[in-house]
Structures are given as C-alpha cells and as structure tokens.
Amino acid sequence: MITSVILIAVLASAALLLWPRVASAPLWRATVTPLASIIGSGFLVLGPILHVSFGWYAPLIMGVLCAGAWAFGSAIRFNIARRAAGERSVTEEWLETAASWTLAFAYFISVAYYLNLFGAFGTELTPWRSPYHARLLTSAMLLVIIFVGWFWGFRALERLETLSVSLKLAMIAGLLAGLAWFFAGKATSGELVASAPSLSGWPAIALIFGLIVTVQGFETSRYLGAEYDAATRIRSMRLAQILSTVIYLIYILLIAYVFRPDAVPLSETAIIQLMALVAPILPILLTAAALAAQFSAAVADTGGSGGLVTELTGGRIATRTAYALLVAFGFIFTWAFDIFEIIAYASRGFALYYAIQSAIAAQGARCERRGGLGIFYSLLAVTGLAMAIFGAPAE
C-alpha cells in the first residue's frame, strides 16, 4: 500500500508540474531556478543531521534556518528593488563587486559539495560503496564538467533545468507521501519517539551556522535580470522560499518523531538508509533524484562562477580558465576533506556573501533615511559574518 501511495504522489505531482499551463507560466519559470537551488543537496543531508543533533526539537531548528534564509532573502530583494530604481550609491556598487567575488568563490566550493554528494549517492547502492570509490566517482564527474564546459559550454544542459526540477519535486512529493503514511502508522500504534538532542549551547549554534548552505539558493533570483524584471524576480524569490520552507518543515517534522537517532549511522547518505526502513522503492527514487539534482546544480554553479569571474576581471580570465580553476579546486576539496567539512566551508562562503548583501541593504536603507531597516540589515550583516567565521561541520 505504501508503495502505491508513493507512486501515485510522484505521478500526480509530475503531471501537474509538467502540465504546459504550469510549466510555461512566467512566474513559475522564474521560480524554478531559485527553488531548484534551495531544495537540492540540502534536502538530502539536512534531515539526518538535524535529527541526530537536535532530536525532538529538530523542526524548531529547521524553522530557525528558514527564518534566517528569509531574512537574508529580504536584504537581497531590497537590493534588487534599489538597483532597478537606479538609486545606488558608490558604496553600494563597491560592495556589490565584493559580493560578486565572494559568490564566485562560494560557487567553487559548492560545486565540490554537489559532486561529492553525487559520488556518495552514486556508489551507495552498489558493491563499491566506500569513501574512496565515492571520491573516484566525484573526480570522474569533475573531469566531465571541465570537458563539457571547455569544449561545448553548458547551454544545452541548462535547458533541461525545468524538466529536472519538476521530476525532482515529484520525487520529493512521493517521499513526503511515504513518510506521512509511515508517520500515521507509527502514531496510531503509539510508536512515535521524542529523541533527546546530542548538541546544545555553542556547539549547537556553530552547527546551525555551518548549515546555512542547505537552505541557500534563493540569491539566484538576483542574477536573472536579463530574463525577468525586478518585480518578477522579487515575487519568484518569495514564492521559492515559501514553498521550500513548507516542504522542509513537513519533511523534518515527519522524520524527527519516527526514527531513533541510532537507527542508522550519520553519514552523507544516511537518508537512503532511513528511507529503506519506510519503503523499498524510496532509496531508488531518492538516488535518482540525488544524481540528477547534484549534476544539474554543479553545472549551474560552474557556469555561474565562470561567467562571474570573466565579468569581474573584464575578460582577463577567460571562462574556460575559470572552469579549470574551479575543477582544480574541486579536486583539492574532494581528496582533502569529508563531505560534512565541505558543507561547512560552503556555508561559510555563502554566509559571507549574505553578510555583504546585508551590508549593501543597510547602506541603501540609510540612503533612503529608513533608520530602523538600516539597523536590522546591519545586525543581519554581523550575523552573516559570524556564520562565516564560526560555522562548524556535523560530526
């Protein structure tokens, strides 16, 4: 029965998302890019990390992460509106350049993050399940990235984004349907559990700081100016963050009270083992969704980083050269760090970017003589800087 529920949810969601009236709607097409980035890699690793680390109050921590992302998103939306109005000061433009450099560097780390998850999930259900073989697969994918980017570019692959996002969301709908059925069964039989947290105090805060990358991605709306006007980008970012928040909160709520923390060892692929306890079909669906999501995200961030570096250097560093630097960086991260350390480093990079965007918004609010808003964005900038300095990996 649970397998039937999962398949019905997947097929119904896919039919809705691929329906031409939905797929071709301008607002939905503008929402797809940030939504794909937010609900990607983070969805795969966040559930087990929060469950093991925070126990029964994992949904509250998820809410905190989503609220933090919404606050940073509000700063970026404020900046989009000011840029469209043409009212930017010299300080804002200077900080924008610094933010773009920071984002380009954060992309370097995020590609390593995405492809290391690709390697882990790609080997999880095979006889070669080990960190060494996962790193080998990650290295092979890095070579594929540089080969495709160097000779053909990523335009053709990027056209598949809407299709891959729709299928990924359909599979997530199936996962949530299966979890809801499993949760209901545990609830009716009185088998729900409330696990004690394993972290508290400063270590818990540092871990939260190190997880901001798992709800990152909304900032991509900022860079869709060539395709959509400012109002559409602002609406699409809000919609993407609302949808992702609802999905994340339901997901964590359903996980937090049905599994014991020691049900499976904490690893980057722990969600696969947990879902095997729910229904045999879920590990297969999740693996397929993971491979598609990680590769498409890596392609998007490689292309974005290469374009940014070339633009920021006035063409002195060619896009191909930027791709090569990114891949070299990816090899170093792959063989020097584990996935949880890479997540923490990626979080630090994006937190610094959000700190600078918040500083831009604070300066813009002061220019508009909106003192209260300026103070809020200044505090947000300090928070982002603290995340960049103190973010810690899960252990």
Mean pLDDT of 313-317: 85
Distance between CA 88 and CA 92 in Å, rounded?
Answer: 6
pLDDT of residue 69: 92
CA 149 – CA 332 distance, rounded (Å): 19
What pLDDT sits at residue 153? 66
Mean pLDDT of 74-78: 93
The pLDDT value recorded for residue 159 is 56
**pLDDT-derived band at 395, boundaries 50, 70, 90:** low
Residue 154's pLDDT is: 61
Judge contact between 233 and 225, C-beta under 8 A.
Answer: yes
Q: Residue 162: what pLDDT? A: 60
CB atoms within 10 A of CB 313: 14
Looking at the predicted structure, is the pLDDT value of residue 221 above 60? yes
The model's pLDDT over 86-100, given as tens digits with 9 standing for 90+, comes to 778 888 889 989 998
Q: In angstroms, rounded to a whole number, what is the distance separating the alpha carbons of residues 211 and 54?
A: 13
Per-residue pLDDT at 380 exceeds 90: yes
Q: Summarize the confidence of residues 197-223 as an average pLDDT.
A: 84
User: Is residue 61 a contact partner of residue 50, using CB atoms and an 8 Å limit?
Assistant: yes
Q: Are the CB atoms for 210 and 392 separated by under 8 Å?
A: yes
Task: Specify the length of the chain in residues.
Answer: 395
Of 113, 106, 103, nearest in space to 42 by CA: 113
pLDDT value at 312 more than 70: yes
| Residue with more model confidence, 42 or 357 | 357
Does the pTM surpass 0.95? The reply is no
**Please, which pLDDT band fits residue 85 given cuts at 50, 70 and 90?**
confident
Nearest of 194, 172, 178, 181 to residue 248 by alpha carbon: 172
CA separation for the pair 299, 20 (Å, rounded): 25
Question: What does the DSSP 8-state code read for residue 136?
Answer: H
In angstroms, how far is the first alpha carbon of the chain from the final one? 36
Please say if the pLDDT value at position 260 is more than 70.
yes
Q: Give the span between the Cα atoms of 283 and 377, in whole angstroms.
A: 42
Interacting residues of 231 by C-beta distance below 8 A, sequence separation 6+: none
Give Rg (Cα) of the chain: 20
What pLDDT was estimated at residue 282? Answer: 86
Enumerate domains of the chain plus CATH numbers: 1-390 (1.20.1740.10)
- List pLDDT tens digits, range 119-145: 888 888 888 888 899 999 999 988 888
Instruction: Enumerate residues 6+ apart whose C-beta is below 8 A from 95.
Output: 356, 359, 360, 363
Angstrom distance (rounded) from CA 115 to CA 339: 10
- Sign, CA dihedral 226-157-112-74, equals positive
Average pLDDT for 50-57: 89
Convert the pLDDT of each residue in 232-254 to its tens digit. Answer: 889 988 998 998 899 999 999 99
Contact by Cβ (8 Å): 317, 42: no
Looking at per-residue pLDDT, the higher value among 213 and 201 belongs to 201
Q: Which among 307, 300, 294 has a CA at the least distance from the CA of 104? A: 307
